[in-house]
Structure 1
Amino acid sequence: MSSESVDAPAPAERPDPALEGYFGAAWPRMVRFAELLEREGELRGLIGPRELPRLWSRHLVNSAVVADFVPPSSTVADVGSGAGFPGLVLAIMRPDADVRLIEPMERRVEWLRYVADDLALENVSISRARAEELHGAATFDVVTARAVAAMDKLARWTLPLVAPGGLLLALKGERAPAELEAARSVLRKLGAEKAEIHEVVGPLGDRAATLVEVTTRP
């Protein structure tokens, strides 16, 4: 009998019961999305095993805070959607928004289509493309991104997709202030009128996200 032991994979995080009230009508779909991520996310190379124990707190709730910053009935482009953060979460929470998921990798596009079909999300469309390939072809009221690139590079990819007077909403980490300061000249050149950082408190009373909100000139 081998003396070596194999560590069992860490179990996925179970949602706090209080989150059901926060998500409201979106709750059943959010739970189903979490189940799909738990079952297939690691197998498809979308999330690592270390992410499962913080699936809700680090990924789903973190993505969900974007919903409060999106104006009613907006057109939204989520750049670099990957596993669906924040694009699929936003589409689940905001059925009034028309959400375009933009992702260049075919295996991730297949996943996004699979989840959108499983959850019967009628407000989702998916483009297999890089953001730059859509410059001049489409604009949106809101563009979202999470963990895609530093702000200066992200601005070059995303701001050409933001309609006049629209928003770029970028979920960032602790380097957000430094990134924003380094990107100010690029933001102005690309039509930004205002940029600010929000430290968003989540539904459980803890800090859920750092969100950079950039408003373009009308």
Structure 2
Amino acid sequence: MEGPEPLLRPGSFAAFHVERERSSSGSTTVAEDLKARQRLKRGLDELGWAAERGQIDQLLSLAELLESWGERINLTGHQSQAEIVSRLLLEAVALLTAAPAFESLVDLGSGAGFPGLPVAILLPDVQVTLVDSRQRRHHFQRAAIRELGLENVRTELGRVEELAAVEHHAGVAQAMAKPNQVVAWMLPWVRPSGWLLVPGAENPPRIEAKPGIRFETIRRYRLPGNGAARTLWIGQKL
């Protein structure tokens, strides 16, 4: 069975420019900032995603904020802006190119806000909910939302299976738990006919047939730069 149409790549959004202030003692040098910007723009071009300058600035501000917090607490394991661009930001955009279109998204086990925060930046008309049970990551999410002026993001602190689920058009969860468990937890958070999205590495996640799933398919895609293979399991809720 053919899968859903991939998410349309937006060509124009209202720009939102984030002015970033740096002290002379800051850890981010001009060279590092330029390297991250060039890597992001090359990756977006390779993916065919037309982002406006304001959105690129917001993505880089997110990378800088994550780098700054990472000097005090380990949120992702990625240290430099360039690493964050390659391994978090562009991976989120690549996932979007494989995903069906959606009007709202819940990011379960969101961690530092990935892929939810990049989605909110690139798709400002999409309402995004970030769910995580860890205080420090929840605090970072809220700080990033304030810093970037994101009005289309809300956060939930708590365990996915214990919170009162609010239905969304799509749900995503990456590296959260075993795929079958992820799908079971995600179902209450997705509305009927909505999408369940489970990213995987080169080998797709093995998910047993579940009641409540109308249809499923696997999309394959590659990351920009290194060409690493990725898969996206897509299920549609009854």
Letter matched to residue 218 of structure 2:
I
Aligned to 1:4: none
Aligned to 2:69: 40
**Shift in CA distance, 31/53, structure 1 to aligned 2, threshold 3 Å:** closer
Distance 1:23 1:42 in 2: 32
The offset of 1:18, in angstroms, is 2.1
Partner deviation per Cα, 1:41-81 (whole Å, 9 max, x = no partner): 25222022567663222221111223342525x12111011
The structure in which a higher percent of residues are helix is 1
Letter matched to residue 69 of structure 2:
E
Partner deviation per Cα, 1:20-53 (whole Å, 9 max, x = no partner): 6535122110111111122222522202256766
What pairs with 1:44-63 in structure 2 (closer than 5 Å)? 44-49=73-78, 54-63=83-92
Aligned to 1:3: none
> TM-score scaled to structure 1, two decimals?
0.80
2:51 pairs, out of 18, 24, 29, with 24
What pairs with 1:131-146 in structure 2 (closer than 5 Å)? 131-134=160-163, 137-146=165-174
Letter matched to residue 181 of structure 2:
K
Distance 2:151 2:200 in 1: 28
Query: 2:67·2:79 contact (CA, 8 Å) conserved in 1?
Result: no
Aligned to 1:66: 95
Q: List runs of 5+ in structure 1 lacking aligned partners.
A: 1-10
Distance 1:60 1:20 in 2: 10
SS in 2 for 1:184: coil
SS in 2 for 1:58: helix
Letter matched to residue 234 of structure 2:
E
Distance 2:168 2:180 in 1: 20
1:96 pairs, out of 125, 128, 153, with 125
Distance 1:134 1:105 in 2: 14
What pairs with 1:168-179 in structure 2 (closer than 5 Å)? 168-176=196-204, 179=205
Query: 2:64·2:81 contact (CA, 8 Å) conserved in 1?
Result: no
CA RMSD between the two structures: 2.5
**Shift in CA distance, 51/35, structure 1 to aligned 2, threshold 3 Å:** closer
The offset of 1:203, in angstroms, is 5.0
User: How many correspondences in the alignment?
Assistant: 198
1:197 pairs, out of 218, 221, 226, with 218
Q: Does 1:130 align with 2:151?
A: no
Aligned to 2:233: 212
What pairs with 1:101-120 in structure 2 (closer than 5 Å)? 101-120=130-149
Aligned to 2:191: 163
Aligned to 2:20: none
Distance 2:190 2:228 in 1: 27
Aligned to 2:8: none
Distance 1:102 1:153 in 2: 16
Q: List runs of 5+ in structure 2 lacking aligned partners.
A: 1-31
Partner deviation per Cα, 1:80-115 (whole Å, 9 max, x = no partner): 111111111111111010001111111111000000
Letter matched to residue 143 of structure 1:
G
Query: 2:63·2:81 contact (CA, 8 Å) conserved in 1?
Result: no
